[in-house]
Amino acid sequence: MENTEVSNILTERTKFYHLFLNNLDTPEALKLCEQFYNENSPHTIYFINAHCYNVSMRNHAYYNALSNANLILNDGIGIKIASYFSKLKLKENMNGTDYIPKLLWQAGQLHKKVFLLGAKDNIPQIARKNIESRFPGIEIVGSRSGYFTKEESESVVATINNSKAELLVVAMGVPRQEIWLNENISKFTNVKIAVAGGAILDFLAERVKRAPIWMQKAGIEWFFRLKQEPRRLFKRYVIGNGVFLASVLFNKSPEFNK
């Protein structure tokens, strides 16, 4: 099968309530990313979990960003539960915390330049050191905090372009990271893949600890995160999960479509 045929199959969108998903497993997604590096235009990769779904129901700019993405990958137990109601059999839990390190490993193997954008203070620099130690040979050509103003955005884009980065990891939280990429993706001159990773730099910097493997496999990593940051995450996980289940059970329409 020709590469173009493979690409067409792997980028096929599957309807998922008011959104869409690319129902892929890790080898398929990595194969597709390898092809992305050989194409002229930049490509965006986003992940959706229950919280992302909730945000997409009320934030039109975020919904538009998801609609314009090249790949949307399923993340977490909430989306898996929702897939049962929609009779969609998901191949794998494609959460960014597991997938993005594999994308970084691939970038090192293919000798692609990487830029890290996101988190705060010195977190990107710590993450950079840990990534370079974990993946010998990887070329990280720049890193920057994700805390910048709208007026500084053009300067951030210019810095990324000057670095010649081909893989851009953006970790500024939902929905800001996706909206920012949607507004700026056409301005990049060398970037072939831009992936939105939420707290990925905090994890790679080991500032935030991951749940034990058994909790990850059981699909309750969210509960571990809740215990770590109960004040910040209570609304997202406890209230948000209930809102999410009600939305998919009754197939509610986004607020901006009412």
Same domain, 39 and 131: yes
Asked if 97 and 192 sit in the same domain, the reply is: yes
Say if residues 44 and 69 touch (Cβ distance below 8 Å).
Answer: yes
Same domain, 181 and 59: yes
Question: What's the whole-number mean pLDDT along residues 14-37?
Answer: 96
What tens digit of pLDDT does each residue of 91-130 get? Answer: 999 999 999 999 999 999 999 999 999 999 899 999 999 9
Cα–Cα dist 80/126, whole Å: 33
Domain co-membership, 54 together with 121: yes
CATH assignment of the domain containing 39: 3.40.50.2300
pLDDT of residue 241: 87
| Statement to judge: residues 142 and 120 lie in one domain | yes
b/e map of 102-124 (b: 16 or more CB within 10 Å)? ebbbbbbeeebbbbbbbbeeebb
Question: What integer is the mean pLDDT of 161-189?
Answer: 97
- For the residues 8-13, what does the mean pLDDT come to? 76
* Number of domains the chain contains: 2
Residue 6 pLDDT: 57
Given 180, 201, 222, which residue is the final one in a domain? 201
Do 194 and 223 sit in the same domain of this protein? no
What is the rounded (10 degree) CA torsion for 238, 123, 130, 157? 100
- What is the predicted pLDDT for the residue at 11? 75
- From the list 31, 13, 30, the residue with the least C-alpha distance to 22 is 13
In a shared domain, residues 23 and 119 = yes
pTM of the full structure: 0.93
Q: What is the pLDDT of residue 28?
A: 96
Residue 7: pLDDT band (50, 70, 90) is low
Same domain, 224 and 246: yes
Residue 257 has pLDDT above 80, yes or no: no
Does 4 reside within a domain? no
Round to whole Å and give the CA distance between 70 and 22: 9
pLDDT category at 228 given cuts 50, 70, 90 is confident
Domain that holds residue 24: 12-201
Residue 208 domain-assigned? Answer: no
With cut-offs at 50, 70 and 90, classify the pLDDT of residue 4: low
